[in-house]
Amino acid sequence: MTTISTTEHTAVPALAGAEPDRNCPLCPRLAAFREAARLREPGWFNSPVPSFGTANARLLITGLAPGLQGANRTGRPFTGDYAGDLLYATLIEYGFAEGVYQARPDDGLRLVDCRISNAVRCVPPQNKPLPPEINTCRQFLSATIATMPRLHAIVALGRIAHESVVKALGLRAVAAPFTHGAVHEAGPFRLYDSYHCSRYNTNTGVLTTEMFRRVFARVRADLEMP
C-alpha cells in the first residue's frame, strides 16, 4: 500500500459547484459534440451527467466519462451499457447498492453509502477526453469530493480517473502510481485503483469479474474496520 502523509500534498480548493450547468460551455469540443447529439437524438439525456448517490456516502466511485449510448443516453452514471452490468452487480454483492439494476434510471436501484461520478461529465467522441478537458472538468470532481463530509474511500476506475482523482486531492502523481488493486493512503482518504469495467477490458481479460470483486471486497472490509 502506498502511504502519502498529509504533509506531502496540498488540497486543491473546489472552484465550482459539484454539478455543472446542463449547457456548460467550458470544453468547446465536448459542448459541440453534445449539441450535435441533441439534434440527432432529442430523446437522449445529452448533458453533463450528474453524480448518482448521496453526498453523505463514505465511498465515491470515479469513472472516466459518460458512454455515448450509456450514461449520455440515460442520464445516470454507468447506466445502459455493459460497464454498468458489472459495476452494479458488484455493488449489490458488496452491499453498496440495493434493488435490481435494469439499465434504466427509473429502475429503482438505490446506492447505499456510495456515490458514483465521472472525471469528465460530458460524453467525449470515441470515449476519449483530451487532457485539457480532463483538467477543466476536474473542478467538478474536486467540488464533489469537497461536498462529501464522510468520504473515506475513493475507487478510481482506470488510469485517467485515477490521475484526475490524484490531482483533485492535490497529491504528487509520482507518489501514487496507478496499478490495478493498489491502495493509496492520502490523508483522510484511501484511493483504490481498478482497471475500468469496460466491455473491452473484460473481453480481453485485462479485468476479470474476480479481479473487480476483490477491489470492492477490500473496500468493504476496510470500511467495516473500527
Nearest to 125 by CA among 32, 25, 220: 32
- Looking at residue 209, what DSSP letter applies? H
Please name the residue that has the C-alpha cell 502523509: 5
Q: Which is nearer to ligand SF4, 139 or 202 (CB)?
A: 139
Q: Which of 37, 48, 51, 116 binds ligand SF4 (CB under 6 A)?
A: 48
Does 67 bind ligand SF4 (CB under 6 A)? Our answer is: no
Q: According to the binding rule CB under 6 A, does residue 120 interact with ligand SF4? A: yes
Our CB check for ligand SF4 shows the closer of 30 and 59 to be 30
* Residue 137 sits in the site that holds ligand SF4 (CB under 6 A): yes
Q: Which one of 4, 18, 24, 114 is in contact with ligand SF4 (CB under 6 A)?
A: 24
Size of the site for ligand SF4 (CB under 6 A): 14
In the sheet that holds 59-63, the strands lie side by side as 2-4, 183-186, 189-194, 153-157, 59-63, 114-118
Question: In whole angstroms, how far apart are CA 96 and each of 59, 99, 113, 154, 218?
Answer: 9, 11, 6, 13, 13
Amino acid at the residue 128: K
CB of residue 41 to ligand SF4, shortest distance in Å: 17
Residues engaged in binding ligand SF4 (CB under 6 A): 20, 24, 26-27, 30-31, 48, 120-122, 133, 136-137, 140
